Chain A
Amino acid sequence: GAVVSQHPSRVICKSGTSVKIECRSLDFQATTMFWYRQFPKQSLMLMATSNEGSKATYEQGVEKDKFLINHASLTLSTLTVTSAHPEDSSFYICSAEDVGAYGYTFGSGTRLTVV
């Protein structure tokens, strides 16, 4: 089945620094990938839709200059949290759709802690 690899699984960074999270589709090509954020005991909230070769589409309330998304190839999308602050600490998950019968496949998530 379709596999999405997300890296790193856990990262701790200092306030003011930037963190990059990678999302790769391993055995299929994904023209569109999605980035979600999850706060404790809350459901997943879509942050942005990443489109290969074009600008990402951000959901209302998500700062595009803070959460930079790059989808340079059909198998890789990256999310960079710039000038991170403690309130950015959260669980970030990416997903992609394999146009077969698998629906959406999710990465294993990244736990970001900003100290």
Chain B
Amino acid sequence: KQEVTQIPAALSVPEGENLVLNCSFTDSAIYNLQWFRQDPGKGLTSLLLIQSSQREQTSGRLNASLDKSSGRSTLYIAASQPGDSATYLCAVLQEGGSEKLVFGKGTKLTVNP
């Protein structure tokens, strides 16, 4: 059974700092991995999608890496801003066509002005 773990559960940083969020998964047989952002009481916003054959994806100040064999992904946020404060979730899609996403519990990020 796939399990997704995100560390740390919460993170507080001053504005301008670069930071890394970690995601690990127990079963490396994944189709892709996706990072989401969730603001309080809101739905999810997709940030980056990495296919299993890819090593990283970049969008603006965000960079996500994937090491499928070791079951790890990181989300790097450069020059953090207070508007980046949210909960960040990673989710993996299993191989085999189940179409089910398995989510981590998220990392709650607070960027202080």
Contacts and interface: CB of A to CB of B under 8 A. Distances in A.
B100 A43 contact: no
Contacts of B32: 103
A84 B52 CA distance: 41
Interface stretch (A12-20, A66-74, A106-114): A106-114
- The majority secondary structure among interface residues of chain A is strand
A56 interface: no
Say which size band chain B's interface belongs to.
Answer: 20 to 34
A6 interface: yes
Contacts of A101: 49
A46 B92 CA distance: 13
A93 B49 contact: no
Q: How large is the interface on A (under 10, 10 to 19, 20 to 34, 35 or more residues)?
A: 20 to 34
Given A43-B106, A44-B89, A104 B42 contact: no
B43 A104 contact: no
B99 A43 contact: no
30 contacts: A32-B99, A34-B99, A34-B100, A43-B106, A44-B101, A46-B101, A49-B100, A91-B41, A93-B43, A93-B44, A95-B101, A97-B99, A101-B49, A102-B46, A103-B32, A103-B46, A104-B34, A104-B46, A104-B91, A104-B101, A106-B43, A106-B44, A106-B45, A106-B46, A107-B43, A108-B43, A109-B41, A109-B42, A109-B43, A111-B41
